[in-house]
Structure 1
Amino acid sequence: MTILPIVAYGHPVLREVAKDITAAYPNLDKLIEDMWQTMYASNGVGLAAPQINRSIRLFVVDTEQMFENMDAAEKKEFPGDTGIKKAFINAHIVEQDGEPWAYNEGCLSIPKIREDIKRPESVTLEYVNEQFELITETFTGLTARVILHEYDHLEGKLFIDHISPLKRKLMKGKLADISKGKIKVDYKMMFPG
């Protein structure tokens, strides 16, 4: 198992639309295992392949750990959502539904920046699992939010694209520092250039 460096804001791979892959993709099992290790080593709850410099439609999500660390009152805010631990291959959104709601998000590729982002309550995805079986599944609450955040990476989008131009302008200096590697984090990063 290898802990991979996470691509920092400003790297062009984060703005590419990722490609579907086939079951013949080289060393896919190892790549998924490395992504889990990388995500846990950096205290993430999701990680998309573009964040490790691979422009393919693959991401992993573990929201079970979020629910394990919540108290009873917090869990009540997310009825029907107990979290998942899953790899998603070739994911495509079928439908988004429900009232958009705000939650404070961050991203391993954009460290030390957090913002309240509005996303729909549920998402229905079509994807293949690690055995390349086609699945259509609906996710809600916090799990849907993490999936939508990781899914954005496959579309070349970042969570900061969901905030107002004024807020983005105000964080321009911080974003420039991240892309120049002028930031300290406790996980391996790959900076542009």
Structure 2
Amino acid sequence: MIRDICKDEVLLSRRAEPAGPEDRQTAADLLETLEHHKDGCVGMAANMIGVNKRIIAFDNEGSYLVMFNPEIVKRSGPYETEEGCLSLTGLRPARRWKSIKVRWQNEKFQERVKTFTGWTAQIIQHELDHCEGVLI
């Protein structure tokens, strides 16, 4: 189901709670909402649709990937940039890393680990800021 985009900064600034198998429908809604906004959005976190769970979905070089409980376990190559967001107005400064190693669970709650670089890494970091309650 396509959900409304949450713009409530109180909700957006709360740290997300761990996701479990009961949150698969939230992940499906998040993915459907992201696809609906594909012309102006490359990634979303669950709190952007009003659900305070640690779930992100993003464009992974042409196909969508959903992560449950993602965390960065290694990072390198810091840089400064500006980013926009469907939930927040305007561009905001952000410190990002060129390369990140991420540990997460897939939809079957099997652990995965992968290194992401460049634009994809930046998208993931933006969404993980949402999970941490960081308003970029």
TM-score by length of 2: 0.88
**Mapped contact 2:19–2:69 kept (Cα < 8 A):** yes
Aligned to 2:30: 35
Task: Quote the offset at 1:63 in angstroms.
Answer: 4.2
Conservation of the 8 A alpha-carbon contact between 2:81 and 2:95: yes
Show structure 2 runs of 5+ residues with no match: none
Alpha-carbon distance between aligned partners in 2 of 1:60 and 1:48, rounded to the nearest angstrom: 6
1:89 corresponds in structure 2 to: 68
Residue 99 of structure 2: aligned partner: 122
Match of 2:82 in 1: 104
| Counterpart-to-counterpart distance in 1, 2:73 and 2:94 | 21
Whose strand proportion is higher, 1 or 2? 2
Q: Quick check: 2:12–2:130 contact (8 Å CA) kept in 1?
A: yes
| 1:65-108 CA-partner distances (Å, limit 9, x unpaired) | 5xxxxxxxxxxxxxxxxxx521010112211112x223331001
Over residues 113-150 of structure 1, what are the superposed CA-to-partner deviations in whole Å (9 max), with x where a residue is unaligned?
Answer: 02353311111111101111101111111100000000
**What are the superposed Cα offsets for residues 163-186 of structure 1, whole Å, 9 maximum, x if unpaired?**
xxxxxxxxxxxxxxxxxxxxxxxx
TM-score normalised according to structure 1 size: 0.64
Q: Identity over aligned residues, as a percent?
A: 32
Q: Does the 8 Å contact 2:70/2:102 carry over to 1? A: yes
Higher share in helix: 1
Among 57, 61, 86, the residue aligned to 1:60: 57
Q: 1: distance between equivalents of 2:8 and 2:88?
A: 6
Write the deviation string for residues 25-58 of structure 1: whole angstroms up to 9, x where unpaired. 15x1x32222122113223100100111111110
Q: Matched residues in 2 for 1:142 and 1:93: separation?
A: 16
Amino acid at match of 2:29: D
Residue pairs, 1:155-166, within 5 angstroms? 155-159=132-136
How many residues align? The count is 134
Is there any run of 5+ residues in structure 1 with no aligned partner, and where? 66-83, 160-193
Once the two structures are overlaid, the 10-residue window that deviates more, 136-145 or 84-93, is 84-93
Contact 2:82 2:93 in 1 (8 A): yes
Partner Cα distance (2:83, 2:45) in 1: 15
Check conservation: 2:43, 2:58, Cα contact below 8 A. Answer: yes
Q: CA RMSD in A?
A: 1.7
Secondary structure of 2:125 counterpart: helix
